[in-house]
Amino acid sequence: MNRFDMKVVLSLVLMFSYVANGAISFGRGHYDRRALMGAPLPTGTASAGGVFDLSKCAGAKGDGVTDMTTQLNQAWKDACSSKTPAKILIPLGNWLVGELKFLGPCASPVTIEVQGTLKAKPDLASFPSGMWINIFQASGVHITGGGTLHGQGEATWKTKKPGDKAFPDSVVFSQCPNSGIENVHIVNSKGFNLKAVQSDGFKVNSVTISCGLDGSNTDGIHIAKIKDVSITNTVIGVGDDCISVGDDSVGVTIDKVTCGPGHGISIGSLGRYPDEKDVRNVAVTNSIFKNTDNGARIKTLHESPSLVASNISFIGITMDNVTNPIIIDQNYFANKPGASKVKIAGVTFKNFKGTTNSIKAVTLKCSTAVPCQGVSLTDIDLTYCGKDPAAKLTSICENVKPTVGGKMNPPESMMNRFDLRVVLGTTLVISYVANGAINFHLRYYDRRVLMDKPLPTRARSAGVPDVSGATVFDISKSAGAIGNGQADMTVGTLKAKPDIGSFPSGMWISIFQASVHIIGGGLLHGQGEAVWKTKKPGDKAFPDSVVFSLLILSSTGASNVKITGVTYKNFTGSTNSIRAILLKCSSAVPCEAISFTDINFTYCGKNIVNNKLKSLCENVKPTFAGKMIPPGC
């Protein structure tokens, strides 16, 4: 029978005594993976500094079978109560433990020297608080020794189902100033590998972190609500972000880090919680990305609180077969209609080299509510290493006007995206544009008119919108515009460049999510005669001249098209993408009754490391039956 007595002493001092024949569970409650809670333990029994050797404890066996949880927790209590700096020694051997509560405050700094292998129990039930090694409210704690912290996550990763709570993190420092970890291997965490929250002055050096690709949400290092952090000389290969920098992180130095496989080094995601604070002064330098899904990334969510991410730099970066080398994504998990209110300002991408397997080498998708400011790219030299021999690197820039300098591959011209913002209720008239592919993403406005010559003064015929008094953007007045048919810009006749390479998206004039009228009596000339005879059997489709897609009239919300009752059954074959199933449904009217039965795909792509097929589901709960490759989401 579990008995729990509570005694309250005058002056509001609360004391607990207990007798328990079962597990005592300290739950995380609504812990949102940023801040932690705990309670200090009474001081231990040690009265002087020294070395607390785990192998000297009663019943100690480093055989990987004997449970050493009680002995190691007691060693912490003794070391923590020492009046002089103390050390906990975990010698050679395999030491099996469950949840470790290393709770302070301590009388002096404590060093945990791991020479052998400390193994977490393989089951989830042994970690009721959601952490394996929980270091709380203890300053000056350092983990070192050259040994291994093995989370045994491989025993649990494949059991995780959608909606399950987060799996236990391996090492968590919370409210531990001037602490750190050095010369240690962290292997196969069930959840995040290493986390530091509210622990100013935290240092990571010469650490290796590795997880199998089956381990989802196994971030290598996550920091938040923290100042003056350095992460150096570290190698990380995980199933999620190598490093994720959360909110209220200030003064972060990341240098000489090798990342891969994984999702890159990310600022964010930001904007998930209403009380988040600014991120500033983050520098990532001299680092390498190998076979990662992303490289240098900043990501924010829709309908976020108003905060700022500023003075962020990625300098001296090498990419090796990376999918999204440079990416700002302010539509990350865009399952809410409101735009992100995280303002991104003062971001530097400089001295990048290497290879990418995607033609989208630079993707800058900034918020429509607070466009990015002060984004610069200098000396970006990336080479395409994908399967399409005719592909050319491109860039995507939305709601941002980056400054560009030095050598640029993808070319600078790919970043000259025509981007206009007008007030709702007005008419936008684009009188003239021609510089390679014309890509319009003019969302959330009432009326737009694309014209291929200046507005005539005569009245419009029936059925043509009245654009009198509309704002006119006459690109023929732009610097360098010459209407002689030789330069990129012409007047009266809009000509497509004759080469195929100028149109990587397969379209010349792409009008996307906009109410657009093309008028004016002029000529749109695709110059297809220069390429028609070059087409061979098996070539991909040549660029279309004018494409209207996902037309939205005077709309700011999510799609209101309801998709219901869709069946996918008996699919076989191969795919060159790891995302075999992609369901992105509307946040306004989620998909219903989507079913998958007997789906059997094989990956045939180039990536021999990250080759596990996956599913992605947003705003939908599909049903799955029969053989499923990839697994359902």
pLDDT digits (tens, 9 = 90+) for 115-173: 999 999 999 999 999 999 999 999 999 999 999 999 999 989 888 888 888 999 999 99
d(CA 49, CA 140): 15
Report yes or no: 54 and 21 within 8 Å, Cβ to Cβ.
no
pLDDT at 47: 31
Query: What are the catalytic residues?
Result: 263
Range 427-434 average pLDDT: 37
Predicted confidence at residue 479, as pLDDT, reads: 38
How far is 625 from 566, CA to CA, in rounded Å? 14
261-278 tens-digit pLDDT: 999 999 999 999 999 999
Take residue 412 and report the two structure tokens written for it.
Answer: 């600078």
> What pTM does this model have?
0.64
What's the whole-number mean pLDDT along residues 210-218?
A: 83
Structure tokens at 182: 């050095």
- Flag whether pLDDT at 80 surpasses 50: yes
* CA–CA dist 18, 20 (Å, integer): 6
Of 221-235, 453-467, 534-548, the least confident: 453-467
- Point out the least confidently predicted range of 180-189, 191-200, 215-224, 537-546: 537-546
For residue 237, list its beta bridge partners: 210
- Burial tier of 627 (Cβ tally within 10 Å: 0-12, 13-18, 19+): exposed
Comparing 40-54, 388-402, 441-455, the range with the smallest average pLDDT is 441-455
Q: Give the separation between CA 259 and CA 255, rounded to whole angstroms.
A: 11
* Dihedral Cα 133, 134, 136, 139, nearest 10 deg: 10
Q: Give me the domains of the chain, ranges plus CATH numbers.
A: 25-156+170-207 (2.160.20.10), 241-417 (2.160.20.10), 427-457+466-549 (no CATH), 564-629 (no CATH)
**What element of type H or E holds 543?**
none
Question: In one letter, which amino acid is 264?
Answer: G
Mean pLDDT of 370-386: 96
